[in-house]
Chains A and B, each alone.
Chain A
């Protein structure tokens, strides 16, 4: 990733004019940093103090990042150099690619990437970059965040629902993909009743495949209630919940939703029945079921 020249900066003739600033010592104990680390960072400290914006300083930041890519101050300094000099941003985008590939969960490089795209105004590689990163870790929060920014900033909504579908085919439990779907619909068609019906149909297939999967249940109830509706307004959704129950499928998410549907209908005793079924198998969730039962009993006495 960095220059293949591994000669210490202390031995390079073109760096003779710089006095390195030694790294701070802990107590009186001998420092065990690697020699390369000490060399690079002592020159980095000197260059930053001097505020030198040059090609050699730029290359030094490459080495510094190679040694510790989380050092946010070095990334800042690198960007200052980019701002001040005529360095190829295309190459810099490739550099960011390499660091992302190596350390996909590093905050600083993703932020750097975003700054670069803001500078170039060219988002053409970003969907591929995030798709590749998500191909290795489908829940990488930084990659999703970057993708959402690119898609909304540059209006690249086309193909996003298909992208989500592809990921859900690979892992229908990928909560990030469900979240992205909600984001895309919100920012394209919006959530009128027709869209909700369509998305509920889409979700139904996944619920039937894996009723114990939290994400599609959140997605379904979220789109209904978040847009001012009640679950009873959506007949086929209610039928699905009743059907799962009648087939003895005891998903806690499905049962909770069914209880809430019955509560919406003011079928309070039937709602409590569901919570009792849930409590038949003791789980970490029992206190919550007790609370829901209590709430319903309070409604009944009103």
Chain B
């Protein structure tokens, strides 16, 4: 469209097909190679790392990870005094890793090992009078934590344990002049935060609070000539936005405003044909985070080799259905 955008240029020699079995190998090897530098350094987000790997493998229809080991790991991150989960054993509980842990247990069908009431109380106690949620006792506020709270409570069948009205009020105060959302009132619109806000509103059945045309326009403006999506104006495209942006558009019924073929091409080009896995953009180093969101994006775009993914919780749709969760998704506008 114009030469002024920050963007990347796709190259002829980049992958054009989904490297299905390579990704399985990459994820399984990552989970097992617990001595790599990256693995050690990522201890502080390990619970999320396990969620990314496990969900990605499920989307690849692969069930090779041992569920007992996974359950053991997750429960070793549990803090019985608080009801929350940390990123790794002996790490302080935090709402981010509480969500990841509950998602993991849902994926391996072991939600029944939880003291549900205790976990619910951990989440409830983090809500503030203004409706926002702290991440933990240290008081950081961010709309990401609202999403984590709603998603956790929803998976435990108990959304109304928190004050949904004030929580929604807080989300709406984080809406900016461009129709998109930031992390706290006034902070810059960012696609990751948009996903969290839209996802939370979906869980609360409050999508009617959105101006879906205005937000849909902002989201579709994330697509660059290369086909990739960025997170805010004048930033480079990144495969993870194939999730944050695309899932948001899916929830508000406007995913078809994107050029699907170009987006698919960008995502596929970001694969590493030697190691498997996806990177943030073509040619960069791969990691499980971008692998999950690349695969989830492709699933949302209709790739039939992959299991269908739920756009609100980023879990297999079959799992969401089996839990009986009804998450609001706008019907497609023409």
List chain A positions with a Cβ less than 8 A from chain B. Answer: 24-27, 29-33, 37, 45, 48-49, 68, 70-73, 76, 79, 111, 114-115, 139, 141, 144-145, 148-149, 152, 173-176, 179-180, 182-183, 186-187, 210, 212-215, 218-219, 222-223, 226, 251-252, 281, 283-288, 291, 294
Contact B188 A288 (CB under 8 A): no
Q: Does B304 sit at the interface, judged by CB under 8 A?
A: no
The chain A residue sitting closest to B36, CB to CB, is A32
In the bound assembly, the distance between CA atoms of A37 and B40 in angstroms comes to 10
Contact B89 A173 (CB under 8 A): no
Size category of the binding interface on chain B: 35 or more
8 additional A-B residue pairs with CB within 8 Å, beyond A218-B177, A252-B2: A33-B40, A73-B92, A111-B140, A148-B186, A180-B188, A219-B178, A284-B223, A284-B227
Interface centre among A79, A149, A180, A287 (most CB of B within 10 A): A287
The chain A residue sitting closest to B226, CB to CB, is A284
Contact A173 B1 (CB under 8 A): no
**Contact string, B1-42, partner A, CB cutoff 8 A, digits 1/0?**
110100000000000000000000000000011111101110
List, sorted by A's number, 14 A–B pairs whose CB atoms are closer than 8 Å: A27-B32, A31-B35, A33-B35, A45-B90, A70-B44, A76-B92, A139-B234, A180-B188, A212-B2, A222-B178, A284-B259, A287-B257, A291-B257, A291-B333
Contact B225 A284 (CB under 8 A): yes
Interface centre among A32, A176, A284, A294 (most CB of B within 10 A): A284
In the bound assembly, the distance between CA atoms of A251 and B94 in angstroms comes to 45
List chain B positions with a Cβ less than 8 A from chain A. Answer: 1-2, 4, 32-37, 39-41, 43-45, 86-87, 89-92, 94, 138-140, 176-179, 182-184, 186-190, 216-218, 220-221, 223-225, 227, 232-235, 256-259, 262, 333-334
List A contacts of B32 (CB < 8 A): 26-27
Q: Nearest chain B CB to A74's CB is how many angstroms away? A: 9
Contact A73 B91 (CB under 8 A): yes
Closest 5 CB pairs of A and B: A26-B34, A222-B177, A284-B259, A179-B188, A218-B178
Contact B223 A175 (CB under 8 A): no
CB contact between B176 and one of A222, A288, A294 (< 8 Å): that residue: A222
The chain B residue sitting closest to A283, CB to CB, is B1
Contact A285 B91 (CB under 8 A): no
In the bound assembly, the distance between CA atoms of A174 and B183 in angstroms comes to 18
In the bound assembly, the distance between CA atoms of A111 and B33 in angstroms comes to 31
In the bound assembly, the distance between CA atoms of A63 and B177 in angstroms comes to 43
Interface of B is mostly: loop
A27-B32, A283-B1, A291-B333 given; A71·B43 CB < 8 A: yes
Contact B44 A145 (CB under 8 A): no
A24-B89, A111-B138, A176-B188 given; A291·B334 CB < 8 A: yes
In the bound assembly, the distance between CA atoms of A215 and B221 in angstroms comes to 11
List B contacts of A186 (CB < 8 A): 186
A73-B86, A214-B234, A218-B178 given; A141·B334 CB < 8 A: no
List B contacts of A27 (CB < 8 A): 32, 34
Contact A71 B35 (CB under 8 A): no
Interface of A is mostly: helix
A30-B35, A141-B188, A285-B220 given; A175·B262 CB < 8 A: no
Contact A284 B177 (CB under 8 A): no
In the bound assembly, the distance between CA atoms of A293 and B87 in angstroms comes to 49
In the bound assembly, the distance between CA atoms of A281 and B92 in angstroms comes to 54
Q: Nearest chain A CB to B45's CB is how many angstroms away? A: 8
Contact A145 B183 (CB under 8 A): yes
Q: Nearest chain A CB to B239's CB is how many angstroms away? A: 16
In the bound assembly, the distance between CA atoms of A72 and B184 in angstroms comes to 21
List A contacts of B39 (CB < 8 A): 26
A76-B138, A294-B334 given; A288·B34 CB < 8 A: no
List B contacts of A219 (CB < 8 A): 177-178
The chain B residue sitting closest to A115, CB to CB, is B138
List A contacts of B179 (CB < 8 A): 222
The chain A residue sitting closest to B175, CB to CB, is A226
A73-B92, A182-B177, A284-B259 given; A32·B35 CB < 8 A: yes
Contact A252 B1 (CB under 8 A): yes
Contact B188 A48 (CB under 8 A): no
In the bound assembly, the distance between CA atoms of A115 and B141 in angstroms comes to 12
A111-B138, A179-B176, A281-B1 given; A72·B41 CB < 8 A: no
In the bound assembly, the distance between CA atoms of A237 and B225 in angstroms comes to 29
